[in-house]
Structure 1
Amino acid sequence: MPVFLHCSPAAIIGSFALSTLAFIPTAQAQQAPAPDTTRRQVLSEVTVTGTAPHFTAPVDGTTITAGRRNELIKPREVNANLVQNNMRQVMARIPGLMVWENDGSGQQINIATRGLSPNRSWEFNVRQNGYDVSADAFGYPEAYYAPPLEAVERIQLLRGGAGLQFGPQFGGLLNYELRRGSRDKKVEIETSNTAGSNGLLNSYNAVGGTVGKVNYYAYYRHRQGDGWRSNNRFRVDDLYGNVRVALSERLTLNAELTYMTNQLQQPGGLTDAQFAQNSRQSTRARNWFSTPWLVPALTLDYKAGERTRVSLKTFGLVAARNSVGFVNGLPALDTVNRRTQQFAARQVDRDDYRNLGAELRLTQDLDFLGRTHTLATGLRAYRATTSRHQRGTGTTGNDLDLTLTGNGLFTNKFDFTTTNAAAFAELLLHAGTRLSFTPGVRYDYLRNTGTGYLGRAANGTENRVADQTSRRNVLLYGLGSEFQVSAATNLYANYSRAFRPVLFGDLVPPATADVIDPNLKDARGYTAEVGYRGTFKNWLRFDVGYFFLNYEDRIGTIRRPVPGGTAGQTQQFRTNLGRTQTHGLEAYAELDLIHSLTGNLNLPHLDLFAALSLLDARYGNLPVTTLTGMGAGTRIVESNLDGKYVENAPRQTLRTGLTFAHKGVSVTGQFSYVDGVYADANNTEEPTANAQTGAIPAYQVADFSATWKLGREGRYRLSGGVNNVFDARYFTRRAGGYPGPGILPADGRTWFAGLGLTL
């Protein structure tokens, strides 16, 4: 059944409201005079309310955004639980945002759009202030670090052809831009302290200002809590410093250092029966996770004139991923050993990351054919190393102790490296007073290596795995277009090639009997989108579009007969299997009800917003094999995933809300509906005994939050709210390993309240 015929009542209402709002301005907006595109054009800067997302200018710094979907979210202008990085609230106005809500600490942000995997946001190129912060952008792109949203000035989300400027990810760019110090004060001090459910305590303290030619900003944030579930304690500390020095009128040097450390207790997954009985219970009391993260960066910005801008960013990463716990799948329980009356030894896994990179970007305005155009070019050099240690025998204790016992050795050990050199060029070409084109091209050289051993023989010697080396040269290209319908609205469209590099986990088999295809290729494909966006007067903002995502050469595992082996002998073979295709509608609109009816801007704001996504994400020709039976009766069964739905791709997502704002008081109520999804490619309906596969039901959740600013320039701030107001019990993820395995419940009803002061 087509996805657009499979709609809940909430989605139907939201779709009708959005389609009505989006086309209100068309007739009147076309009467507006054509803008002069001999200069760089921007959409109207009129703000509907403080909560609406902004559209970036066609050229934003050294980035060209014309002709593709983009959003800017300013977290401090959103009524939301910033303390726990509640992305369901903060990014509610992003259509189709899929959020894995299984980390009440808010430390690990798991989001995606357009039917891609939310796992630690790895389908995005995740950056902070324009530089990489993930473990390895090409070999292991999981983002274990996320800045506290209290420190974020804006979140930049750039989709469509973003890969041409920022790298290969199909999801696009997710960039956290942190705040800077006050430009008109020598010293400005801010403190914000929040308490909440389940022992939540959060303290954010910052100082910043400008002294002569030096601008500075620094913060320290501490957050701790017991978590909504049992055995779900967390402690997070963030430290950041930034110094920006104007060396001359044209040259600026910016140095910054980010450090984060955390201790997260993992309560484990639940079976379906356990979730139905009590979703707050825990199956693991001794599982811990920690990711110390250090990111230094140095940026040099040079403005050669009004027409030339140069930026050089150098950055590094010194970080780790540490876990210790009882990782056996359900229904196994982490219980006391009856014979010794002690717990069994836990498993220890550790990763160490050491990265270094540099990016040089140049934006140049050019005059030809009677108009001004913009050329953006860039070079990138990047090297990342990962040392992975797995399956060490740990202690029998309860705390975060990574000490090894027994022989003191890890069962598995690998060393990976990634080397990347890249160059890109994009041209914003004005073809008339209203029409522009943005052709672009990107070249990437990638080299991945992997060495190590998988398990040990009985005598303790290492079972070495053949060294893995992969080299490739990748050429990507794309074309965007934008037509200015009016001074404040435009049509946009683009097509762009993308690819997903072979990851470390694809190079090394999970078991000694598994085989890696020596001809394993990167996953490749393309994205295409078309949309209409803009503002009308000062009370409506909208963005409605259609996209298509083609994901080719998807990497997966099949069971096949062993070449040259005996009859019936099989092996797991990891190779390129086939493709998936996703198409869908993304629509967002926000309407100021009072101002639209009265035209009186002195009256309070009453803003209604809705963000709707309708997806159809399916597999194409993708053969799979399974084993059935036991012993001599074992046989291989072949099937095909053609027409099956892609995992974690909700066919309908609707988030809508209403905000009242007047004279420093702002109150928001929000409702979210997310359709059911499958946890596996076979679209298994009935859950398995270990709860790792099976359907994930649709859910609905409501949130309420408020802010009250007092004193001159809002010096005093009171904030608070209730998340999951009606205490809905739901889950968004079935995990196969950490932080599960099994069902990972979302938090039930929680509250928070805080007091802020700026001096």
Structure 2
Amino acid sequence: MKTTLVATGILLGLGAFGQNTPDKSFADDSTAPKTRYLSEITVVGRGSRSDYQALPEVVGTNIYAGKKSALIVLDNVQGNVVTNTMRQVLAKVPGIHVWESDPSGIQIGIAARGLSPNRSWEFNVRQNGYDIAADPFGYPEAYYNPQLQAVQRIEVVRGQGALQYGPQFGGMVNYILRNGSEISKPFEFETQQTVGSNRLFNSYNAIGGNTAKVNYYAFFDHRNGDGWRQNSRYYTNAGFGTVTYRFTPKFSLSAELMRSNIRSQQPGGLTDLQFEQNAQQSLRSRNWFDVTWTMPALTANWQINPGTRWTTKVSATIGDRNSVGFTRAINIADTINKSTMQYNNRVLNGDFYRNYVLESRIITDYKLAGRNHTFSGGIRAYTGNTHRLAEGRGTTGTDYDMSLAPGGRYDRDINFGSQNLAAYVENVFRISDRILLIPGLRYEWLRGNASGRIGYKTNGQDSLLQDVTRSRSFLLAGIGAEFHVTKTTEVYASFAQAYRPIQFANLQAPAATTDIIDQDLKDSKGYNIDLGYRGKLKSYLQFDVSGFLLQYDNRVGTRTFAATGSTPAYRLVTNLGSSTSKGFEGFVEFNPVRAFRRNSNWGLIVFGSYSYLDARYSSSFKDSIIAGKRVENAPQDIFRGGISAGYKGFLLTGQISHTGLTFSDATNTTAIAANGQSGPIPAYTITDLSASFKATRSLTLKAGINNLFDKRYFTRRAGGYPGPGVLPGDGRTAFVSVGARF
């Protein structure tokens, strides 16, 4: 069952709906792996039309045996990848909770198992194996996300993935970009042009090729639109280039560079009454958001011998995040000031991220007691700095402008630093032909610090941040197991410790003198447990069903203490207690045509993914108001299901997405606040329709309708930017794409 990839990449799903054999697009057998060897790249394809696969035991220098994992093949996704519609892209990964408050697809917010979807910050988010978040330790928000036309596959690893990748509790999401390794000729040109509702226009253009020594790929992507709501214009520009040079059949060096700039008008939130009256309306026209992300990376791959591979990556994240707007509560109008006959000054906020990381990994096969085993180990060195300018007094204008008003200044000017050294080891012990044990350890050393101005005193002098530095080290342990019931099915189990480092926000005491940071503040720690059964039945059924437990200890929050004697009242930022998430996650995909008839031009695929979640704060939580309550942003039920039907190169897919009711705060407030910032988030069900037609081997047409029945819904209530208030999801929208390769 072991699949060792001597590769910079693995591409699953070479037989996408009509992709390789358009005249018999439903005739292949997904249980018959196809392997094609290039000089140093192994491309593994199962001939499956499904966009979902389980990851092999070993990929490159990474071990996935015993872990809850999923692989999404973007060529096979039937849905709107142009605007990164994640409810469609990750439909077959059960339990993924998606925030859908950004119609442009710029800001992806996903989570699982009761964790927060805020810019995916509970996942370790990576691109081509390196970090892309603002700061994976102190501020792990993913402001940048790749455009999915450029993505070859998405790897999702839960639980035990924390041992190989570090924080967070959610596991790891890795976007693998196209790199040209699958192209078999010296030059190929690819283009995809899309138009859609609300003046959506997207142009994706790429070149790539492969020679005896070199493979390369480069793209430029532009997208713009007006958005479904008022005041929600946006544009994105992204360019990427990568070159791999094979010095020998065993050693290669790859260099890549991604540059992305996005700018979007933020329509702000609504009250619940305003949402009911007209969800498309906007009461903010002067709020803007701008992100520029630059990521260079250099990767060395060395096949030391047939059973040993070494990979080293050096990468950087150079990012700027700026916002300008009127951010008062949504029930306070942004109107002309009668005394000045101008708008009020807007608030400026800017972050500047400069992060550098080296990761080196090795994997090797060896024999012990007459059996083959696999060892993997790695080291990581990271340093990052975030310079934060906040609460600046901006202009009274309406367009994007980060200029300070005359005499204006930034109230906050803070530098956050984080450093990390880590090492991990993991081993696949093949106890028998059917039983695998996968223990692992990870050592972490972390340091976070903050310095600078957090405001001004009444006499005009700087109010400086209290001296806050946190250094700590610890060991994480985990173990996984697999029992191969048949050649294509297995029982898997894993236990792994996880952690979430102290965030930058917890290192800066607010300017108010009554707010204090606990000097014994600790990282949040806990563990994930998974137990499941997955696999394939012949060529027509694949499934993955499992139960899970996520224990989240040392949650950080604020306690308020009343005045006692000579001690004034104060608020303490401290560790409050624990939460427990437990439940079920299941996925099944069935092809009835393939089950009863072979080599048919007709095809029918039915799938469903469902998760049940019970996520609650511990009854011993220090804040008695929260003890025993449901964790916020934790829907009890998430179901996504669909049917794909096709003939030869034509495919039509309908999909339903249902997300249960969630609470917007830890106190489970049921009363709706007048400003829309607190209250329940109702359950909702969305229906999407998509179609594709492969006219020739080089020409593809795609079209789709998102939210077919024009359902009004929202997925989050924001307490601040980009709200505050209710942030509506999009109503009905449509798109049409034409793609070609030459």
- Give TM-score, length-normalised by structure 2: 0.93
Distance 1:97 1:564 in 2: 50
Q: Could you tell me which amino acid in structure 1 is paired with residue 285 of structure 2? A: A
The residue number in structure 1 matching 2:367 is: 367
Distance 2:459 2:211 in 1: 66
The residue number in structure 1 matching 2:4 is: none
Residue 198 of structure 1: SS of its match in structure 2? coil
Residue 689 of structure 2: SS of its match in structure 1? strand
Deviation at 1:623, TM superposition (A): 4.7
Q: How does 1:1-400 map to 2 (within 5 A)?
A: 46-47=46-47, 49-181=48-180, 182-400=182-400
The residue number in structure 2 matching 1:578 is: 577
* CA contact 1:440–1:479 (8 Å) conserved in 2: yes
Distance 2:491 2:346 in 1: 57
Deviation at 1:578, TM superposition (A): 0.4
Distance 1:364 1:563 in 2: 63
Superposed CA deviations along residues 573-613 of structure 1, whole A, max 9, x for unmatched, are: 110000000001000000002222x2323241100000000
Residue number among 616, 619, 622 corresponding to 1:618 in the alignment: 616
The residue number in structure 2 matching 1:688 is: 673
Q: Which runs of 5+ in 2 are unaligned?
A: 1-41
Distance 1:205 1:564 in 2: 70
Identical-pair percentage? 45
Distance 1:689 1:497 in 2: 41
Q: Which runs of 5+ in 1 are unaligned?
A: 1-41, 626-638
Q: How does 1:489-528 map to 2 (within 5 A)?
A: 489-512=489-512, 513-528=514-529
Distance 2:565 2:621 in 1: 22
Superposed CA deviations along residues 194-243 of structure 1, whole A, max 9, x for unmatched, are: 00000100000000001330100000000000000000000100100000
Deviation at 1:51, TM superposition (A): 2.8
Q: How does 1:458-469 map to 2 (within 5 A)?
A: 458-469=458-469
Residue 298 of structure 1: SS of its match in structure 2? strand
Distance 1:183 1:206 in 2: 12
Deviation at 1:690, TM superposition (A): 1.6
Point out the more displaced range, 68-77 or 506-515. 506-515
Deviation at 1:125, TM superposition (A): 0.5
Deviation at 1:564, TM superposition (A): 6.1
* CA contact 1:595–1:603 (8 Å) conserved in 2: no
Point out the more displaced range, 598-607 or 162-171. 598-607
* CA contact 2:268–2:330 (8 Å) conserved in 1: no
Residue number among 575, 585, 601 corresponding to 2:599 in the alignment: 601
Distance 1:349 1:565 in 2: 38
Check 1:212–1:600 CA distance in 2 against 1; reply closer, same or farther (3 A cut).
closer
The residue number in structure 2 matching 1:454 is: 454
Distance 1:417 1:703 in 2: 44
Q: Could you tell me which amino acid in structure 1 is paired with residue 462 of structure 2? A: E
* CA contact 1:452–1:467 (8 Å) conserved in 2: no
Q: Could you tell me which amino acid in structure 1 is paired with residue 170 of structure 2? A: G
* CA contact 2:708–2:732 (8 Å) conserved in 1: yes
Residue 610 of structure 2: SS of its match in structure 1? strand
Residue 671, structure 1, aligned to residue 672, structure 2: no
Q: Could you tell me which amino acid in structure 1 is paired with residue 516 of structure 2? A: V
Q: Could you tell me which amino acid in structure 1 is paired with residue 686 of structure 2? A: V
Residue 678 of structure 2: SS of its match in structure 1? coil
Check 1:244–1:45 CA distance in 2 against 1; reply closer, same or farther (3 A cut).
closer
The residue number in structure 2 matching 1:30 is: none
Residue 120 of structure 1: SS of its match in structure 2? helix
Check 1:671–1:52 CA distance in 2 against 1; reply closer, same or farther (3 A cut).
same
* CA contact 2:257–2:295 (8 Å) conserved in 1: yes
Distance 1:176 1:610 in 2: 23
Distance 1:652 1:85 in 2: 23
Deviation at 1:409, TM superposition (A): 2.0
Distance 2:622 2:146 in 1: 40
* CA contact 2:216–2:243 (8 Å) conserved in 1: yes
Deviation at 1:466, TM superposition (A): 1.2
Residue 445, structure 1, aligned to residue 430, structure 2: no
* CA contact 2:226–2:233 (8 Å) conserved in 1: yes
Q: Could you tell me which amino acid in structure 2 is paired with residue 556 of structure 1? A: G
Residue number among 724, 730, 733 corresponding to 1:750 in the alignment: 733
Distance 1:54 1:468 in 2: 45
* CA contact 2:482–2:492 (8 Å) conserved in 1: yes
Distance 1:409 1:341 in 2: 22
Q: Could you tell me which amino acid in structure 1 is paired with residue 163 of structure 2? A: L
Distance 2:267 2:622 in 1: 33
The residue number in structure 2 matching 1:557 is: 558
The residue number in structure 2 matching 1:19 is: none
* CA contact 1:622–1:640 (8 Å) conserved in 2: no
Deviation at 1:326, TM superposition (A): 0.3
Q: Could you tell me which amino acid in structure 2 is paired with residue 103 of structure 1? A: D
* CA contact 1:594–1:603 (8 Å) conserved in 2: no
* CA contact 2:466–2:509 (8 Å) conserved in 1: no
Distance 1:370 1:573 in 2: 59
The residue number in structure 2 matching 1:657 is: 642
Deviation at 1:452, TM superposition (A): 1.2
Deviation at 1:160, TM superposition (A): 1.7
* CA contact 2:316–2:357 (8 Å) conserved in 1: yes
Deviation at 1:180, TM superposition (A): 1.8
Check 1:739–1:392 CA distance in 2 against 1; reply closer, same or farther (3 A cut).
same
- Give TM-score, length-normalised by structure 1: 0.91
Q: Could you tell me which amino acid in structure 2 is paired with residue 363 of structure 1? A: I
Residue 339 of structure 1: SS of its match in structure 2? coil
Superposed CA deviations along residues 697-752 of structure 1, whole A, max 9, x for unmatched, are: 000100000111112x2x01111110000000000000011110000000000000
Residue 222 of structure 2: SS of its match in structure 1? strand
The residue number in structure 2 matching 1:415 is: 415
Deviation at 1:562, TM superposition (A): 4.9
* CA contact 2:231–2:282 (8 Å) conserved in 1: yes
* CA contact 2:128–2:177 (8 Å) conserved in 1: yes
Q: Could you tell me which amino acid in structure 2 is paired with residue 758 of structure 1? A: R
Distance 1:641 1:147 in 2: 37
* CA contact 1:719–1:755 (8 Å) conserved in 2: yes
Distance 2:51 2:385 in 1: 40
* CA contact 1:377–1:425 (8 Å) conserved in 2: yes
Residue 444 of structure 1: SS of its match in structure 2? strand
* CA contact 1:692–1:743 (8 Å) conserved in 2: yes
The residue number in structure 2 matching 1:635 is: none
Deviation at 1:46, TM superposition (A): 4.6
Point out the more displaced range, 512-521 or 534-543. 512-521
Deviation at 1:624, TM superposition (A): 6.0
* CA contact 2:478–2:495 (8 Å) conserved in 1: yes
Distance 2:146 2:366 in 1: 37
